[in-house]
Homo-oligomer: A and B are copies of this chain.
Amino acid sequence: MKNKILSDSDDYLLENEPYYIETGDEISIFKAAYEAKLPVMLKGPTGCGKTRFVEHMAWRLKRPLVTVACHEDLFASDMLGRYLLKNDETVWNDGPLTRAVRMGAICYLDEIVEARKDTTVVIHPLSDDRRTLAIDKKGEIIHAHPDFLLVISYNPGYQSVLKDLKQSTRQRFVSLDFNYPEAEKEAEIVSREGNIQMETALRLVSLAGKIRNIREHGLTEGASTRLLIYAARLIGNDIPVHDACRSAICLPLTDDMKLQETLNELIDDIF
């Protein structure tokens, strides 16, 4: 796969279908929102498949996908673009959001609450019926390409007074609720992505189920599907099951000694 400077929308198109198993009616609602030109918000915990779902939908709708991971040092200008000095002249360079708006891509703002406030405000006129993006530094107002779709993700578990999404932002998005898939489906995913037999996958999912149930005892979040896949892959590389579960599931989840003992006992119960 070549690394090239991305200049047109083809570079953002996904070539192969990203593997995704539907767990509710999220595909049809996403399609309806896309048809109705309504922006979409994905809510749910870490590693339950939000990013994969967006990739899958971009492939299905044959739209280029531009992803921006939000963080507290991301300024509006990082998304909109900025002037660079070239041959003694300042030349404008589109940022990822601007590129997406022009080419009619799906623009996915991952973990939007982490972004600076200026970022959230910049997307307001894009996420109501105006569908415009104002680039004040250039004095340019861009009307979004008809196929442009704005998607944001958000983990309600992190919700705090300081990092809450304002109602004036929330009330601009059709929302989809994500959670861990049900046991059968999750095992299918772990088996396929982790490349192990269904039986071991089912046991890993059963372990995850137990861990997710003790969540209130000090675990801020349950074991994600991703971690189950990690464990599966370590097993596939000849690491004993107990060691694999410890390295791929217990240690990433917590630093607390007592909790780790509990988790180790759960592993003993199942394997």
Which residues from chain A sit less than 8 Å from chain B, CB to CB?
1, 3-7, 11, 25, 28-29, 31-33, 35-36, 38, 41, 43, 46-47, 51, 67-76, 78-79, 83-90, 93-96, 99, 102, 110-111, 114, 116-118, 120-122, 124-125, 128-130, 134, 136-143, 155-159, 166-168, 170-177, 193, 220-221, 223-224, 226-227, 230, 233-234, 236-239, 243, 247-248, 251-253, 255
Contacts and interface: CB of A to CB of B under 8 A. Distances in A.
A116 B173 CA distance: 27
Nearest to A34: B237
A156 B268 CA distance: 25
A175 B247 contact: yes
A173 B224 CA distance: 12
Contacts of A139: 5-7, 93-94, 96, 99
B29 A247 contact: yes
Contacts of A75: 73
A75 B32 CA distance: 39
A102 B137 CA distance: 17
Task: Output the residue of A11, A102, A167 with the most chain B CB within 10 A.
Answer: A167
Contacts of A38: 230, 233-234, 248
A227 to B, nearest CB: 5
Contacts of A170: 252-253
A239 B32 contact: yes
Contacts of A155: 168
